[in-house]
Amino acid sequence: KSVELVRQHAPITGERIAELLGVTRPMIRSDLGLLVMLGYLDAKPKVGYFPGNAAAREASAALHFTRLAVREVMGRPVVLRETATVGDAVAALFLEDVGSIFVTDETGALAGIVSRKDLLKIAVGNNSASSVLLGMVMTRYPNLVTIEPDETVYEAIRKMIVHEIDGLPVVQREGNDPRARPEPVGRITKTTVLKLIYEAASAEE
């Protein structure tokens, strides 16, 4: 959506983009930074954002990390069973410092995801929220966006931008059987990507 707004209204400031999207400027700051780094947008101080040159994305040595396999950069998944409670999930979110929990069934297959937003929705005005089972509040598989370990970081970034989400579960199917239910084996988030951008930029200095 941000890219389309820039195409329609360029040059446009970050504040105006946030206003048209109905969000605050801090909420989209990291998204805009990613879009600029990937070449979808260009930015000029005190002027605003313009449509970017996608060719620059291909030429930039600083973005070599986008060709890495997700398995090389993914973090450890934070997982709970669907029989765990909202209280368990809240504790895990704070202890592990993550934005979402992957929920699995009794076989270890991905059953869903529960985010901070999901937990907030169930908690507001509900005194018994902590005892509600995660299976009642999670977003269920297959209504999830996932990525596999051998896909590239670039594809992970593309999925996060297109679907406007902050992270992806990295999943693998037993024996690579496409009919098998996937199991969560990792996680990749916008924070992961921003760290890679920072490391790549630092290496060029």
**147, two tokens:** 């990525």
d(CA 17, CA 23): 9
| Helix spans in the chain (H) | 2-9, 14-21, 25-37, 54-59, 86-96, 116-123, 153-163, 190-204
Buried b (16+ CB within 10 A) or exposed e, 63-87: bebbeeebeebbeebbbbebebbbe
d(CA 176, CA 173): 5
State residue 58's pLDDT score: 46
State residue 126's pLDDT score: 78
State residue 55's pLDDT score: 43
Residue ranges, the chain, pLDDT below 70: 1-2, 37-38, 53-63, 176-178, 201-205
State residue 47's pLDDT score: 83
Identify the CA nearest to 18 among candidates 29, 7, 10, 30. 29
State residue 59's pLDDT score: 44
State the pTM of this model. Answer: 0.69
Identify the CA nearest to 48 among candidates 60, 32, 62, 63. 32
Plot region of 167 (φ>0 → left; ψ -120 to 50 → alpha; else → beta): beta
Helix (H, G, I), strand (E, B) or coil at 165: coil
